[in-house]
């Protein structure tokens, strides 16, 4: 259940939101470099302010407090992205793998289908099928349970089969990974 706030406080918060949301979103964008995340971070910061609005408005500088919340949320997001890149680097092959006569169109299709999966499903599918990790090693890399790896991999593979039209999805995922970290000659 949300906080109990009187009507005057609600009107005041709504006005604060209208005045400062865009500024907070710009701040989040400049701190993270991610346009998609900026709106979410600003909204999360304003939600945190709403839950503490009586104390925040009594303290005197709600905009400064809001900027601090956005900065902390952005820092957390950036740190999480760094940790994710480090985990991926642990499992990325250090040598270049080459595939004879690659199906570039197929690789592009698989990569596009993988991008459409939610992160956890995508990570489980890629680590299990492209990098041939065990369920236990995948769980360790992602910081989740083995059961989560099993269910997310199964659901992710089912969604990939739906997106790619069926047959040979594990082999196609492996072939797409074997093409290396690039994007088939295009910048993405």
pLDDT tens-place string over residues 93-105: 555 555 565 556 6
Tokens of 67: 């900027």
User: Which DSSP letter does residue 8 get?
Assistant: H
Count of CA atoms in the C-beta half-sphere (13 A) of 104: 6
End-to-end CA distance of the chain: 42
pLDDT digits (tens, 9 = 90+) for 103-126: 566 677 778 888 888 888 888 888
Residue 110, token pair as written in the block: 């698989």
Place of tokens 């905009």: 63
């Amino acid at each position: 259940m949300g906080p109990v706030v009187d009507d005057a406080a609600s009107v005041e918060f709504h006005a604060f939101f209208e005045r400062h949301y865009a500024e907070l979103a710009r701040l989040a964008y400049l701190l993270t470099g991610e346009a998609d995340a900026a709106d979410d971070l600003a909204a999360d910061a304003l939600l945190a302010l709403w839950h503490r609005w009586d104390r925040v408005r009594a303290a005197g500088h709600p905009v400064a407090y809001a900027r601090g919340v956005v900065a902390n949320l952005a820092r957390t997001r950036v740190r999480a992205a760094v940790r994710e890149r480090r985990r991926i680097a642990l499992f990325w092959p250090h040598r270049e793998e080459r595939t004879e006569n690659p199906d570039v169109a197929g690789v592009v299709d698989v990569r596009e289908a993988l991008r459409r999966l939610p992160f956890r499903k995508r990570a489980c599918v890629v680590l299990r099928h492209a990098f041939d990790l065990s369920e236990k090693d995948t769980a360790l890399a992602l910081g989740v349970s083995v059961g989560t790896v099993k269910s997310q991999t199964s659901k992710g593979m089912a969604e990939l089969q739906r997106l790619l039209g069926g047959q040979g999805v594990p082999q196609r995922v492996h072939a797409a990974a074997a093409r290396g970290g690039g994007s088939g000659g295009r910048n993405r």
